[in-house]
Amino acid sequence: MDKSELLKLAFDAQKRSYAPYSDFQVGAALLCKDGTVYQGCNIENASLGATNCAERTAIFKAVYDGKREFQAIAVVGKKNSETEFELCAPCGICRQVMAEFCDPGTFEIILGKNTEDYRVFTLEEILPLSFTGKDLAD
């Protein structure tokens, strides 16, 4: 699975977004180390605080299915009213959820404007000095 294919799956997922409050529709495609892919979209809520981002939808689906080893995630998003996609960076909560399961030095976050125009960051780059389970160990 190359980065363009993963981005294509994120664009497909973006179409399932439920975002009646922000109108900002996000899709994600999470590549597991075993080669399987989990897609997610943002799912908003009238309370706003109960909204779930696309990245977390994909990660939680995968974890429920017993997957905990992840290689990369592609993320795309834009306002429904816009025609062009700009880079959509994961929010702080999603970065923290990634830190729970993903290796900071190798897990790749692929942010795409389209399947050919994208940027790649490691988790370490977008979440330096993270707080993880290691900090709670005896």
**Which residues would be at the binding site for ligand THU (CB under 6 A)?**
19, 22, 24, 26, 42, 44, 51, 53-55, 75, 77, 88, 90-91, 94
- Least distance (Å) between residue 56 CB and ligand THU: 8
- Checking DSSP bridges between strand 70-79 and strand 37-41, what pairing results, if any? unpaired
- Least distance (Å) between residue 103 CB and ligand THU: 20
Active-site position among 5, 55, 86, 108: 55
- Least distance (Å) between residue 33 CB and ligand THU: 22
- Least distance (Å) between residue 119 CB and ligand THU: 14
Radius of gyration of the chain (CA): 14
Cβ proximity to ligand THU, 90 vs 112, nearer residue: 90
d(CA 113, CA 36): 23
Which residue, among 9, 80, 63, 17, has the nearest Cα to 39 in the 3D structure?
Answer: 9
Indicate if 124 belongs to the active site.
no
Which residue, among 54, 62, 138, 74, has the nearest Cα to 100 in the 3D structure?
Answer: 62
Cβ proximity to ligand THU, 78 vs 115, nearer residue: 78
Cβ proximity to ligand THU, 44 vs 108, nearer residue: 44
What's the per-residue H, E or C state across 93-124?
Answer: HHHHHHHHHCCCCCCEEEEECCCCCEEEEEHH
Cβ proximity to ligand THU, 22 vs 96, nearer residue: 22
d(CA 61, CA 67): 9
The residues annotated with a catalytic role in the active site are 55
